[in-house]
Amino acid sequence: MRSGARTRASVPPAAPWVAKLTNMVIYWHCDYAREPDGARVDVTAVREPLFHPEQVPEEILAAIVGAGPLHWEDLHVSDRGSVGNARLRLVGVYDDRFEGTFMLRTRIPGGRLSAAQVDALAGVVRDFSVHAEGFDGEPDHFCEVTTRQDVQVHWIRFEQLPEIWRRYAEVGLGSLQACGNTMRNVTACPVDGVDPQAAFEVGPIVDAVDAIARDEPRLTAFLPRKLKVALSACSTDCVVARIHCVAFTPARRGGTLGFNVHAGGGLSDYPRLATALDLFVEPDQAPAVVRAALEVYALHGDYANPSLNRFRALVHQLGPERVAMEIRGRLGFSAPSAGEDLTTWRAEDHIGVHQDAKGTSYVGLCVPLGRLSADELFELARCARVHGDGGVRLTQRQNVILTGVASVDALLAEPLLERLKPEPDPFERGVVACTSAPFCKFAILAMKPYGQKLVDHLRGAVPREGWDRLRGLRIHMSGCKASCAQIPTAHIGIRATMGKDGEDYYDGFDVALGGDAGRAHLARWARGEVPTDAAFDGIASLLSKVAHGELALDELSEGLAPWTAVGTAPYPEEVARTGSRRPEGTKAAGPSPAVRTADGAAR
């Protein structure tokens, strides 16, 4: 049996989905078809594929649901290849490391959930996040809160997707365009609408931007690569605005509140912090700016070189002034120059008890390493109903917030808060880790277990009397060279690697120091291929100096050679070139109905 595959005896009874093709009957839950005389025929030779390259996300979902609860191995051979995997990503389904199992990413605009939606997520985690046969030692029955305010669930089987989506539809959840070359989940300040210090509320604008993905999938789901958008009217940099393709931060021009616009941020192989475009828009004009940026990317983006074609590369190639001109020319209204900046650019996680604008409180709870079990999700929903207004928010640091809490003391007495603490120590609060192994196909090491090991190590090695000096500590851990954990933005960034000592290989870390996107700093590489135990000892020694007052967190990278600076990332030489456009003959991308040039003419 293939690794991770399930036997037929271990799956629920097959529904009576039968299809006729020519003179054969294909039984969808068998590995064969039969001729009228009973002869067996290879089913993949006759079954029609479900997927094709021009399907929009809604059509992909409809094809999967309409075909019935098919098992992955029942699909046409082409559906189980690169075409099928690419289509599945458009509906939030990503193939995991174990064959035949998937990760489902739920798109949650602005990180806003209701108690009913949390209950639905809990039911999905309980019923479907079950490890494959033969992998009893691997974690299951859990979900992950991501750095983009999504929720991810592992161990999903293909035949379970229709039922999951049915449950989602009942409570207004969805997974369309949560993965793939799409406009990804729109992120926002997690305490938007309840924070009395915010300049204004952005929730309706988040919904309007998210609606572009729903209403114009030909524009948002066929991009050269993913495009990430953040909106915030918070006085802090809780959204980490400068690492986004397009970001909106609070500003005032004259007596009008609105946004300053930034473009071209991103991390991974060639990090770049977004550049201010000298562009101010009123709140309800922000969706038009996003649509214009999508059109610019669809028109000018590179479809031939996936490793070099992020939106930040386009901003680097064209220059911020040209990008601002291209966006202005597509707006349909006059957008003035940037207004007065209303953000402090200070990093913030919104953990703890805070007074809200209505006289109640919002309470930020630390979720260790971003993982929640099904039982914890059910309890979180119950606490939201009993103690709050039923609202739950997800944060960019993989934590949760309960809103409208009337009696904080009653909430703090809940058993759930013994693990999800509003006042965690600086190490548990500070560590962010990506999915990594054993699920992610690209991961070298399992960073969540290593993250817990680091937390435990620092608790014992760093003097407790100096922990107050570590408030706001950020340690980000990534299992591969990608930046899902946003390691360049951390005080200490840790990237998994393998080192070699003679003939022996060992688990190791590359370590970067001094990241702070709000202060326009990306972390600088300090050491590479450090054995894990030695890396933990070195980090403890460094943080002990901070605890003793010998060093400040913001000074961790002092004396190191610069890795990069805002707007001047060390791009590969290829990024400086214009690059290839969409290959001729393909249809599945581009704005609709027309792309306008900077002077407003249609192309």
Higher pLDDT: 280 or 601? It is 280
- Give the per-residue pLDDT at 82: 84
pLDDT band at 270 (very low <50, low <70, confident <90, very high): confident
Residue range 580-602, pLDDT digits in tens: 232 233 333 322 222 222 233 33
CB distance 273 to 520 below 8 Å: yes
- Give the per-residue pLDDT at 358: 93
Q: Shortest CA distance to 98 belongs to which of 6, 165, 24?
A: 6
Residues near 152 by beta carbon (within 8 Å), at least 6 away in sequence: 103, 104, 105, 106, 143, 144, 146, 435
The angle formed by the CA atoms of residues 374, 376 and 381, to the nearest 5 degrees, is 100
Residue 284 has pLDDT above 50, yes or no: yes
- Give the per-residue pLDDT at 15: 28
- Over residues 46-62, the mean pLDDT reads 89
pLDDT band at 147 (very low <50, low <70, confident <90, very high): very high
Residues near 37 by beta carbon (within 8 Å), at least 6 away in sequence: none
- Give the per-residue pLDDT at 36: 56
Residue range 300-328, pLDDT digits in tens: 999 998 878 999 999 999 999 999 999 99
CB distance 387 to 406 below 8 Å: yes
- Give the per-residue pLDDT at 556: 85
- Give the per-residue pLDDT at 5: 36
Kind and range of the H or E element at 421? none
- Over residues 177-192, the mean pLDDT reads 98
Is 16 buried (19+), middle (13-18) or exposed (0-12) by CB count in 10 A? Answer: exposed
Residue range 208-239, pLDDT digits in tens: 999 999 999 999 999 999 999 999 999 999 99
Strand ranges inside 425-531, DSSP E: 431-433, 475-478, 492-501, 504-513, 524-531
Helix extents (H) in 413-511: 426-430, 447-461
DSSP 132: P
- Give the per-residue pLDDT at 13: 30
Residues near 141 by beta carbon (within 8 Å), at least 6 away in sequence: 125, 126, 129, 130, 373, 374
Residues near 321 by beta carbon (within 8 Å), at least 6 away in sequence: none
Alpha-carbon dihedral angle through residues 542, 548, 551, 556, given to the nearest 10 degrees: 20
Spatial distance between the Cα atoms of 505 and 511, rounded to a whole number of angstroms: 18
Domain ranges of the chain: 8-171, 196-345, 352-424, 428-555
Q: Report the range of poorest mean pLDDT among 77-91, 381-395, 460-474, 572-586.
A: 572-586
% pLDDT > 90, the chain: 75
- Give the per-residue pLDDT at 542: 94
Q: Do domains 352-424 and 428-555 have the same CATH topology?
A: no
CATH number for the segment(s) 428-555 = 3.30.413.10
Mean of all residue pLDDT scores within the chain: 86
- Give the per-residue pLDDT at 108: 98
pLDDT band at 100 (very low <50, low <70, confident <90, very high): confident
Name the CATH topology of 196-345.
Answer: Sulfite Reductase Hemoprotein; domain 1 (3.30.413)
- Give the per-residue pLDDT at 579: 31
Q: Report the range of poorest mean pLDDT among 23-37, 139-153, 160-174.
A: 23-37
- Give the per-residue pLDDT at 289: 98
DSSP 521: B
Residue 255 has pLDDT above 80, yes or no: yes
pLDDT band at 559 (very low <50, low <70, confident <90, very high): low
Spatial distance between the Cα atoms of 186 and 184, rounded to a whole number of angstroms: 6
pLDDT band at 138 (very low <50, low <70, confident <90, very high): confident
Residues near 104 by beta carbon (within 8 Å), at least 6 away in sequence: 92, 93, 94, 124, 152, 153, 156, 161, 164, 175
Residue type (1 letter), 209: V
Residue 568 has pLDDT above 50, yes or no: no
- Give the per-residue pLDDT at 37: 59
CATH number for the segment(s) 352-424 = 3.30.70.3340
| Tokens at 280, concatenated | 């101010």
- Give the per-residue pLDDT at 99: 82
Rg, C-alpha atoms of the chain? 25
Higher pLDDT: 17 or 489? It is 489
% pLDDT > 70, the chain: 85
- Over residues 362-368, the mean pLDDT reads 98
426: cis peptide before it, omega within 30°? no
Residue 346 has pLDDT above 50, yes or no: yes
DSSP 136: T
Spatial distance between the Cα atoms of 121 and 100, rounded to a whole number of angstroms: 22
Higher pLDDT: 23 or 526? It is 526
Q: Report the range of poorest mean pLDDT among 307-311, 379-383, 433-437, 567-571.
A: 567-571
- Give the per-residue pLDDT at 308: 83
- Give the per-residue pLDDT at 560: 56
